[in-house]
Amino acid sequence: MLQFVADKGVDAPIVHVLGGAGYNVLYIAEEAPKTGDDKVLLMANDQQRILITLDKDFGELVYRLHQSHTGVMQVRLGGFKPKRKAEIVLEAVKKHEEKLIDAFTVIHKGIIKLRNR
């Protein structure tokens, strides 16, 4: 089963819903809230976890700076309540589980974009 690192800006309900579905999720906001983006990405990669983030800076780290990753899921669901965001993320994870590995995934309103390395 996939494992995740949720960046500090990720809504707690996303972490709780994924955890409740049996996924192991390390929540940076609880574990190490002052950790910088580059170290969060390194931690996720070292532990073979997919990073969940709201932060567009990870796209720069992955594409412009060519930093290694196990997978990044960027959640772009502005306007939705946290509970609904969590439901959408869980649906995406269940539907695309194996495709998320080593991919940069963006979850928009009604659209999921997966880009493999």
pLDDT for 79: 93
Find all residues with CB under 8 Å of 39, minimum gap 6, and list them.
none
Provide the sign of the torsion angle of the four alpha carbons 5, 95, 115, 68, taken in this order.
positive
Q: Are 105 and 114 in contact (CB under 8 A)?
A: yes
pTM of the model: 0.94
- Return the CA Rg of the chain: 13
Q: Are 39 and 111 in contact (CB under 8 A)?
A: no
- The CATH T-level fold of domain 3-116 is Rossmann fold (3.40.50)
What are 32-87's pLDDT values in tens digits?
999 999 999 999 999 999 999 999 888 888 888 889 899 999 999 999 999 999 99
Amino acid letter, residue 99: K
Does residue 99 have a pLDDT over 90?
Answer: yes
Domain ranges of the chain: 3-116
